[in-house]
Amino acid sequence: MLYAWIDGEKRAPLAKGERTTCRDCGGLLSAVMPVENVPHWRHKAGDCDPWSEPEGPWHLGWKELFDLSCREIGLVDGVTGERHRADVLYGAGTSKATVLELQHSSISEEERTSRETFYKQEHRMFWLVHIHSENSFLGFNFGISMDFTKRPVELDGKTFSVMRWMGRSVQFIEKWKRANAHVFFDFGGHILYLASGTVAQRLGGPFQRGEFALCKLTRDEFIRAVHWAD
């Protein structure tokens, strides 16, 4: 986790040897000051959020675009006691409360579904999936699949483009097409919204296996969407 409360302030660690207590579980936290990664807090007895994963500059950069009060918010299922920490929770306590999950590493369909089930109990939910290496197998296939010229469709003032996945690993795009939350990709500095099942229907779908539709957004448009999710 990148932030914790220490001496009445929510912040990242400043120096090796700092200690504090996790407000979610009461466990002991210690400062980690890596040479090649961002400073963070580590649970002595293991993170109380089993969905936690190593975080780096990409996570930090996105979290810092939101107010500190919205970052890393602990949530508990009142019935089961299940506990998880949302990367960003905007508008807590309102009808437009929105969880933003920042996904840098690969994730199984089962875990994706579990997170959506948990976070969507009382919130809207957005995924931001990082396609973080254009030289990787996934990044290459994602890049060659991008074609915004063949089948553009206007919908609600936005231009969607229907395209087809190229190469192998079509399971990647099919997995995210099945998501029950809004899915966005961060690829090469561009934010791309993946048409959900409902939107796909309005674009002439349902789409065949390997077909999908994307809409380009600026970073500011994406942040506004999180702030005022529909």
120-163 pLDDT per residue, tens: 998 999 999 999 875 578 888 999 999 999 899 999 999 999 99
**Residue 64 and residue 100 in contact, taking contact as beta carbons nearer than 8 Å:** no
- Tokens 């019935």 correspond to 79
- Sequence-ordered list of residues with C-beta below 8 angstroms from that of 152, at least 6 positions apart, any chain: 159, 160, 161
Q: Compute the mean pLDDT over every residue in the chain, rounded to the nearest whole number.
A: 93
pLDDT on residue 188: 86
pLDDT of residue 109: 95
- Do 138 and 78 contact (CB within 8 A), yes or no? no
Pairing type for strands 98-103 and 124-131 reads parallel
Cα of 60 vs its chain's centroid, Å = 12
Listed as ranges, residues in the chain with pLDDT below 50 are: 230
For residue 29, what pLDDT is reported? 97
27: left (phi over 0), alpha (psi -120 to 50) or beta: beta
| pLDDT recorded at residue 230 | 46
In the chain the first and final C-alpha atoms are separated, in Å, by 29
Whether the model clears a pTM of 0.85, i.e. scores above it, the answer is yes
Angle at 89 between CA 86 and CA 90, to 5 degrees: 170
